[in-house]
Amino acid sequence: MLSRTAENLFWLARYVERAEYLARTIDATLRVTALPAAYIGKTNEWDSALLTAGVGAAFYDHYEEANERNVVEYLSFSSENPSSIRNCIEAARLNSRSVRTALTSEMWDTINSAWIELQAVWNKGPANREELAKFLRFVQETSLRFDGSAYRTMLRNDAYWFSRLGVHLERADNTARILDVKYHMLLPEEEHVGGPLDYYQWTSILRSVSATTAYHWVYRETLKPWLIADLLILNDTLPRSLASCYSNLVRNLDQIGVAYGRQGASQRHARGIRNRLEHSHMDDIFQHGVHEFIQEFIADNSRLGEIITKQYLI
C-alpha cells in the first residue's frame, strides 16, 4: 500500500482516539469540579485537564485564567488549539478524504456524519451544560462507532494494522499523560493516608480512562492508589492500560512484519517496551519512582511513533 495511505490511516485513528480522550477528560473534570470544595481540595482541576491534554503552556497564549469556560472552549472548540476536539475531527475528516479508497464506507460515514453534525456545534458553541454533555457524549460515541466499524468491516490486512497502530500508540500516550499529571496522587501502599479528598481524584482518573467499573471487577476492593496504578500500567486485561496497548502494538507490528516478510526497528523497539512492562512489578516501579517511569515511557512511546514513520510511512 502507498506509504502516504498508511500514514493517513495511522493518523486518522490517532485523531479519533485523541478526540475521545479529550471528551472523557473534560467529562471527568466537570464531574469532579461539581463537587463541593471540601471534597476536592484546592488544586485547579482545569489546569490539570490542560496538562493531561498536553497543551498547558499554549493555553495561556490565548487565555488569562484556566476556568471551566475557557478550558472547555480551548479543548473542545478552539481552532487555535491544534489538538482540540474540533481540530481532531477536522483533521480526521481531511485524512479520511485523502484515503477514502482505504476506508470502508461505514468508517467514512462515521467520520463524515460526525463532521457534518458538529459543524453546527462549532458555529454557535454549546448554549448550556446539557448541550455540552450531549456534545461530549457524541464525540465518544463517534469514536466507538469508528472503532466498531473498523473492527467489523475492514479487511484484516496492512490497512487495518496501520490504523490499529495509531489507536494503540495514541491510547498509550493518553493513559501515560494522565498518570504523569496525577502521579503524585498514586502513592505506594505504606505511604498512604487516605481521605475523601483523594478518593474523588482517583475516581476521576479512572473515569477519564473509563475504568471505574473495571477496577472493581479486577480488584474487588475499595479504591487504593497503588492498585489504580497497577491497573493502568501493568494490567493487560484493561484495554487502556499501557501493558494492553503494547500487547496490541507488538501483535499488529508482527502481523505487518509477517505480511511483508520482513521485521525491522519498530518491531524490536515495541517488543522491548512490552517486555519491560511484562516483567515489571508495581513495587519496583514505586521504588524507581512512578514519575520517572512514566516520563521514560512517554519518551519511548513517542520514539516508537518516529520509528514506525521512518520504517513505513515515508
Partner 1 sequence: MAVAFDEMNGLGEDLRPAYQELSRWLKETPPDALEYRRQEAELLFRRIGITFAVYGDSEAQERLIPFDVIPRIMSATEWTLLEKGLKQRVLALNMFLRDIYHGRDILRANVIPEDLIFQNPVFRPEMNGQDVPHDIYVHIAGIDIIRTDPDNFIVLEDNARTPSGVSYMLENREIMMRLFPDLFSRHRVAPVERYPDELLSALRSVAPHNASAEPTVALMTPGVYNSAYYEHSFLADKLGIELVEGRDLIVKNDEVFMRTTEGLKRVDVIYRRVDDDFLDPLTFRPDSALGVPGLMSAYAAGNITLANAVGTGIADDKAIYSYMPDIVKFYLSEEPILKNVQTWRCREPQDLSYVLDNLADLVVKEVHGSGGYGMLIGPAATKATIEAFRDKLKREPEGFIAQPTLALSTCPTCTDKGLAPRHVDLRPFVLTGSSHTTIVPGGLTRVALKEGSLVVNSSQGGGTKDTWILSE
Site for partner 1, rule CB under 8 A: 1-6, 94, 97-98, 100-101, 108-109, 112-113, 116, 158, 162, 256, 260, 312-314
Cell numbers at residue 3, please?
506509504
- Closest to partner 1 by CB, 96 or 140: 96
CB of 313 to partner 1, least distance (A): 8
CB of 10 to partner 1, least distance (A): 10
CB-count burial class (<10 Å; 0-12, 13-18, 19+) for 193: exposed
CA distance 249 to 305: 11
C-alpha angle 144/217/237, rounded to 5°?
60
CB of 281 to partner 1, least distance (A): 37
CB of 83 to partner 1, least distance (A): 21
CA distance 296 to 227: 21
CB of 94 to partner 1, least distance (A): 6
- Closest to partner 1 by CB, 145 or 177: 145
Amino acid at 169: L
- Closest to partner 1 by CB, 216 or 262: 262
CA distance 205 to 220: 18
- Closest to partner 1 by CB, 3 or 44: 3
- Closest to partner 1 by CB, 208 or 311: 311
What DSSP letter does each residue of 83-147 carry, written as one string?
TSHHHHHHHHHHHHHHTGGGS-HHHHHHHHHHHHHHHHHHHH--SSHHHHHHHHHHHHHHHHHHH
